[in-house]
Structure 1
Amino acid sequence: MTIALLTNPTAGKGRGAHARDTALARLRAAGRDVTSMEGRDADEALDLARQAVADGVEALVAVGGDGMVHLAVQAVAGTGVPLGIVPCGTGNDVARYFDLPRKDPAAAADRVLAGEQRVIDLARSGTKYFVTVLAAGFDAIVNERANRMTWPRGQMRYNIATLAELRTFEPLPYTLDLDGETVSLDAMLVAVGNGPSFGGGLRITEGALLDDGLLDVVIIKPMSKPALIKTYPKLFKGTHVTHPQYQHHRVRSVTVAAPGIVSYADGERFGALPLTVECAPGALTVLT
């Protein structure tokens, strides 16, 4: 089995390089032919991944967080080439989906060696794909602010960005097309889920299945800021679904429009609204 290992060495506050070395040793000790790749930036990393797929690699393994998985998915989506994951990022939501070891790169490499495969859907907008959730509201604005901040690092940066944005945030006017049905309303956020969680286990699209051929669209309608703060911890358990301001739709395709919003997917800057997202059934094979 020929394997291409694609690494973000700075993932998880620098844990990426250690995870790569550990996984590389494990895979080669098992007799696999492994090429280790690392781009100087995201564009080069994607070029390397696409070239590896074009050259006939039998598996592409992403070493990093959800951002590196997101990048690797762009190279393997629709090709049948399986994706392996050695998680070492901050959120690791994709690894959570498959119950992969998140703190033991050797054990994660063993999952790759085991070779068990699962075929799942992806969400697609144009030629771009995502695995987890598209954030298109308050959560996206928080991401924008956090990415402009240089301090602190990790989850605390997002907590501070959340508090800062809460002071001035007002509900946004959305127009949605849900499988041909047009809905206009004000909301705090709209999230489009291929899977159930993002942001390190925030189960915003609770109940989303990876292989049902559908997207899960969650709308959080206007609520007071104290109510939003009170509801936030419920996202980690998915118990926010009983809130009266929560709406959930299952669709094959959705168009999301709101002024001035840049959406995020898999934790990465994805694109300015309006965006149309559709389900791409069975587009990804994962080594689980």
Structure 2
Amino acid sequence: MTRLGVLVNPTAGKNTGRAVGATALTLLRAAGAEVVDLSAADGRGALERARAAVAAGGLDAVVVVGGDGMVHLGAQVCAGTDVPLGIVAAGTGNDVARALGLPVRDAAAAVERVLAGRTRAVDAVRRQDPGPDGSRWFVGVLAAGFDAVVNERANGWRWPRGQARYTLAVLRELPGFRPIPYVLHLDDRRLETEAMLVAVGNGPSYGGGMRVTPDAALDDGLLDVLVLHRLPVAEFLRVFPRVFSGGHLGHPAVEVHRARRVRLEATGIVGYADGERLGPLPLDLEVVPGALSVLA
């Protein structure tokens, strides 16, 4: 790895991303790598710069410093190309990095992985119709139920910041939440149901260790589609915390389906993938085996 494009999210990990990024850049340059800083004032600018750099050629890899949101950005740049993605995990959740067995919040160890240059091909999920920002890939988990509703409300607020914003959004949404009518197309199967939560997992977890699809593997060519069917809110509150251990799979209201192609249909629901807003349903998704090469 001699010429690297690097993108840093300075606000990742409760604003520790800037320091982790500075350390990573210093270590990469000290090791003799030529570093092309592709960071920008916002995510859209960084995405445009990185795509242009990859299209121009000459990069051995693109390295992102941050959390799952930066991995998501890196996937838009590297998926479907022969340019590998390096990850210096510096976010709050870091679910994709953990699934890949990468160091978390350890810049030196992460840089060692990047410089070693060993690659691993993993699956990525392609959205058939890219959104207005050109986003069409994700790596980890797509949320499309109560969790996505909370995300959508929280992201509409400027205050409070951090985890408190999501906690408040849960408290605001929960009393009035009702099961969502869905139509799911899973390869050649069609399923109509009312559910509290639907998640599409290429990887096992989201939200900083919530193992919503714990048996999902990043390299099996399949998506795990979890459906938590209609429940009273009180029972939902008892089941949902089990997601941190994967114990929710034993509940009779939980089903997991496996498919290569998934279409999600529901009214008024916006999907979030890798913690990023992917767009309103319906969404047509397809897993692409080996679409992303990662330094792992």
Which bin holds the TM-score, normalised by the shorter protein? Answer: over 0.9
1:75 matched residue in structure 2: 77
Moved more, 101-110 or 59-68: 101-110
Q: How far apart in 2 are the matches of 1:225 and 1:72?
A: 37
Query: Does the 8 Å contact 1:90/1:155 carry over to 2?
Result: no
Give the 3-state SS of the residue equivalent to 2:176 in structure 1: coil
Aligned to 2:124, the other structure's residue is in SS state: strand
> Cα distance, 1:159 vs. partner?
2.3
CA distance in structure 1 between the partners assigned to 2:251 and 2:151 by the alignment = 24
2:148 counterpart of 1:140: yes
With the length of structure 2 as denominator, give the TM-score of the two structures.
0.94
Report deviation, 1:154. Answer: 2.6
- Aligned position for 2:199: 191
Distance in 1 between residues matched to 2:90 and 2:19, nearest whole Å: 9
Q: Tell me whether 1:58 sits opposite 2:66 in the alignment.
A: no
Shift of 1:194: 0.7
Q: Which amino acid is the alignment partner of residue 23 of structure 1?
A: A
Matched, 1:155 2:132: no
Q: 1:97 aligns with which of 96, 99, 104?
A: 99
Q: How does 1:10-49 map to 2 (within 5 A)?
A: 10-49=11-50
Q: Which residue of 2 aligns with 1:265?
A: 273
Check if 1:170 corresponds to 2:178.
yes
Q: Distance in 1 between matches of 2:226 and 2:187?
A: 14
Q: Deviations over 1:71-95 (max 9, x none)?
A: 1110110102110011111211111
Q: Distance in 1 between matches of 2:280 and 2:115?
A: 39
Counterparts of 1:88 and 1:146, CA distance in 2: 22
**Alignment-mate amino acid for residue 185 of structure 1:** T
1:182 and 1:228 mapped to 2: Cα distance? 25
1:248 aligned to which of 256, 260, 265: 256
Map Cα deviations across residues 126-165 of structure 1 (whole Å, 9 max, x no partner): 2400001111111110001111233333333222222221
Q: CA deviation at 1:102?
A: 1.6
How far apart are the structure 2 equivalents of 1:214 and 1:133?
12
Residues 90, 154 of structure 1: 8 Å contact kept: no
Residue aligned with 1:99, SS: coil
Q: Aligned AA for 1:163?
A: L
Q: Using the alignment, how far apart are the partners of 1:22 and 1:106 within structure 2?
A: 8
Whole-Å Cα distance in 2 between the matches of residues 277 and 26 of structure 1? 38
Give yes or no for contact 2:38–2:49 (8 Å, CA) kept in 1: yes
Q: CA deviation at 1:2?
A: 0.6
SS in 2 for 1:74: helix
Q: CA deviation at 1:277?
A: 0.6
Return the offset for 1:190: 1.0
1:206 is paired with a residue whose SS is coil
Structure 2: 5+ residue runs without aligned partners?
Answer: 131-135
Amino acid at match of 1:168: G
1:216 corresponds in structure 2 to 224
Structure 1 spans left out of the alignment, 5+ residues: none
Letter in 2 for 1:275: L
8 Å contact from structure 1 (residues 146, 157) kept in 2: yes
CA offset at residue 263 of structure 1? Answer: 0.7
Shift of 1:45: 0.7
The offset of 1:199, in angstroms, is 0.9
Identity of aligned residues (%): 55
The code of the aligned residue for 1:104 comes to: D
What is the rounded CA distance, in whole Å, between the counterparts of 1:92 and 1:153 in structure 2?
Answer: 19
Runs of 4+ aligned residues of structure 1 deviating over 2 Å after TM superposition are: 149-157
Measured in 2, the distance between the counterparts of 1:160 and 1:8 equals 25
Question: Counterparts of 1:105 and 1:157 in 2: how far apart (Å)?
Answer: 28
Amino acid at match of 1:103: R
**Aligned residues of 2:88 and 2:105 also touching (Cα < 8 A):** no
- 1:216-235 aligned at under 5 Å gives the runs 216-235=224-243
Q: Aligned partners of 1:187 and 1:92: how far apart in 2?
A: 27
RMSD: 1.2
